[in-house]
Amino acid sequence: MATNILIADQETHFFSDVCKNFDHAAQFTKHDAGLLDQIKSCNSVYRFRFPIRKGNSFEVIDAWRVEHSHHQSPTKGGIRYSEMVNEDEVMALAALMTYKCAIVNVPFGGAKGGIKINPKNYTVSELENITRRYTVELIKKNFIGPSIDVPAPDYGSGEREMSWIADTYATMNPGQLDAMGAVTGKPIALHGIAGRREATGRGVAIATRECVSVGEDMQRIGLLPGLSGKRVIVQGLGNVGYYSAKFLSEMGAIIVGLCEFEGAIYNENGLDIEAVFQHRKATGSILGYAAAIQEFANTMEGLEQPCDILVPAALENQITETNIRNIQAKIIVEGANGPTSPEAEAIFYANGGMIVPDMFANAGGVTVSYFEWLKNLSHVAFGRMNRRFEENSNLNLVNMVEGITGVALTPVQRSTIIKGASELELVNSGLEDTMIRSYHEIREIYKSNPEIGTLRNAAMVGAINKIAVSYQNLGIWP
Ligand code: NAD
């Protein structure tokens, strides 16, 4: 009974939290109230149920697809597979997608999908049936297509599910040239793109690095600039958490704590992400990892251990009024969507912290999904047309410089200079450029008016202004 109340309570929270953030930020814009209302509302909410066969019986599955905003087409957003999924959550996540895309200048409207199941309770073949049937339901209502609405992975789903969606869509739309653009996050062998799998985590790491690179901001919160030696705790060792931890540690940060749903581990001298990941794969738990100095059966305790930066990368609503005062980090970088409640955020800033908000911090995934979609529409891998040409031009240049100077480069120097960019290098470079530019765009807004108060409000102000321009240009028809 208590669980039901909790779930019911959560059902009404998340979208209204996002709307609260929107309303607060909207005060710093000059748009018509009706236009603001249009931007904030979810345009289309499709709730549906379908049966699947489980053993000798049937089971009815609840599912959703929400298209929050059509100011750009297609709409875009992941599909969440979770028994906790509900309509409010899918609406909130769809709205966040709209703002996220605007912040990183990705020309999509926001959308999100949800399938109310715990994937662990189903066989692979049952999951395939659920995914394919979900896709067919979307096709029936025109809620999927390369120019309509393009799903991607989210909590509980990955490349495997995206392959089933791509295949179902292509089968149901024979001859459609751009069918593979109907879903992103596909495996590379099925028209996916190099770098998509790790894109969100890489983006989180770049966002963190940019944030700590600003000396003035670090001085205000009492940290030295630079990522080197910063102590980081990461919650969630899934796609976003694992890659965030991996890239942060490669950039010089020390991962001192890791939290999963079964518990948390801590070592102030640093944890080896790969070793913890392999330990969890082998034993089913991060607990029992030999090099951990402390273990916590209650995962939430892990968030409260000493660190400089906390990266919640599991689920929403993890940092609230009840635990924010125990958080020792000075910076929270939101890898997950909606991990911090508005009340907790206000307390954290008042106590001298800062939060890099989800709608920017985890936008690396949709940025590279955009690159994948472009690749699918152009039917050619990035770099394929120009790599050899670039290498030949570089070779001529190197030969010329060596000829003029009489200095011969080493073979390693020659190949480093001559080598043309691969798809992965181009994707990573486009992602890095997007994250860096967007962070400083947000920070400029943040600095422009002290009353804006938080980076989240600043990000939202920027997003509202861009979406408002799109709507104004589109007009209203009829
Ligand atoms: P995932 O399913 O790959 O991983 C989630 C991880 O969190 C799992 O390892 C799970 O065991 C763990 N977890 C669940 N409950 C927990 C708890 N209470 N405490 C600690 N750990 C817990 O999912 P993901 O794709 O990494 O998504 C995580 C978050 O990032 C979600 O909020 C999602 O919306 C957001 N996000 C994902 C992407 C993406 O590209 N995958 C992009 C943007 C945002």
Burial of 371 (0-12, 13-18, 19+ CB in 10 A): buried
Going by CA atoms, what residue is nearest to atom 12 of ligand 1?
236
Coil, strand, or helix at residue 83?
coil
pLDDT above 60 for 2: no
Question: Residue 316 C-alpha to ligand 1 middle, in angstroms?
Answer: 9
* pLDDT class of 55 with cuts at 50, 70, 90: confident
Together in a domain, 230 and 142: no
Together in a domain, 230 and 177: no
Residue 404 lies in a domain: no
73 in a known ligand binding site: no
Together in a domain, 248 and 352: yes
Those residues with Cβ within 8 angstroms of residue 344's Cβ, 6 or more apart along the chain or in another chain: 319, 320, 321, 323, 324
pLDDT above 80 for 8: no
Q: Report pLDDT for 477.
A: 87
Together in a domain, 99 and 138: yes
Position 62: which residue type? D
Mean pLDDT for 20-25 is 94
Of all residues in the chain, what percent carry a pLDDT higher than 70? 97
Going by CA atoms, what residue is nearest to atom 43 of ligand 1?
362
Pocket test for ligand 1, best of 234, 247, 315 (most atoms within 8 A of CB): 315
Q: Report pLDDT for 306.
A: 98
447 in a known ligand binding site: no
Neighbour count for residue 379 (Cβ, 10 Å) = 11
* pLDDT class of 1 with cuts at 50, 70, 90: very low
Q: What is the mean pLDDT of the chain?
A: 96
Side-chain-side CA neighbours of residue 204 (13 Å): 35
**Domains identified in the chain, total number:** 2
Nearest atom within ligand 1 for CA of residue 358:
44
Going by CA atoms, what residue is nearest to atom 31 of ligand 1?
336
The Cα 68–Cα 77 span in angstroms is 10
Domain closes at, from 191, 209, 225: 191
Residue 145's φ and ψ, nearest 5 degrees, are 155, 155
Residue 21 lies in a domain: no
98-145 confidence digits (pLDDT tens) = 999 999 999 999 999 999 999 999 999 999 999 999 999 999 999 999
Together in a domain, 226 and 319: yes
Pocket test for ligand 1, best of 240, 316, 360, 366 (most atoms within 8 A of CB): 240
pLDDT above 50 for 236: yes
C-alpha closest to that of 373 among 99, 124, 72, 85: 72
Residue 333 lies in a domain: yes
Going by CA atoms, what residue is nearest to atom 23 of ligand 1?
155
Those residues with Cβ within 8 angstroms of residue 165's Cβ, 6 or more apart along the chain or in another chain: 79, 131, 132, 134, 135, 144, 151, 182, 183
* Domain CATH code at residue 339: 3.40.50.720
Together in a domain, 130 and 248: no
Catalytic residue selected from 112, 116, 330, 375: 112
Q: How far is CA 135 from CA 60, 115, 163, in A?
A: 16, 11, 11
Of all residues in the chain, what percent carry a pLDDT higher than 90? 96
Q: Are 79 and 157 in contact (CB under 8 A)?
A: yes
Those residues with Cβ within 8 angstroms of residue 26's Cβ, 6 or more apart along the chain or in another chain: 36, 40, 460, 464
Mean pLDDT for 387-410 is 97
330 is catalytic: no
The Cα 391–Cα 425 span in angstroms is 15
343-396 confidence digits (pLDDT tens) = 999 999 999 999 999 999 999 999 999 999 999 999 999 999 999 999 999 999
Residue 106 lies in a domain: yes
Residue 162 lies in a domain: yes
Domain closes at, from 168, 191, 214: 191
Residue 8 lies in a domain: no
pTM score: 0.95
Residue 422 lies in a domain: no
Q: How far is CA 139 from CA 63, 133, 165, in A?
A: 14, 10, 11
Mean pLDDT for 153-170 is 97
Residue 262's φ and ψ, nearest 5 degrees, are -85, -10
Question: Residue 242 C-alpha to ligand 1 middle, in angstroms?
Answer: 10
208 in a known ligand binding site: no
Together in a domain, 206 and 73: no
Together in a domain, 180 and 206: no
Together in a domain, 204 and 139: no
239 in a known ligand binding site: yes
Q: Report pLDDT for 476.
A: 87
Cis peptide before 225 (omega within 30 of 0): no
* pLDDT class of 478 with cuts at 50, 70, 90: confident
* pLDDT class of 12 with cuts at 50, 70, 90: low
Q: Is 277 in the pocket of ligand 1 (CB under 6 A)?
A: no
Residues in the chain: 478
Nearest atom within ligand 1 for CA of residue 365:
40
Together in a domain, 229 and 276: yes
Q: Report pLDDT for 11.
A: 46
Together in a domain, 90 and 177: yes
* Domain CATH code at residue 79: 3.40.50.10860
Residue 400's φ and ψ, nearest 5 degrees, are -65, -45
Domain closes at, from 191, 215, 234: 191
Residue 57's φ and ψ, nearest 5 degrees, are -120, 180
Segments forming the whole domain that contains residue 48: 42-191
Question: Residue 335 C-alpha to ligand 1 middle, in angstroms?
Answer: 8
Mean pLDDT for 153-179 is 97
Nearest atom within ligand 1 for CA of residue 80:
34
Nearest atom within ligand 1 for CA of residue 241:
26
Structure tokens at 238: 């899934």
Residue 273 lies in a domain: yes
Q: Give CA angle at 14 (348, 62), nearest 5°.
A: 150
Together in a domain, 155 and 98: yes
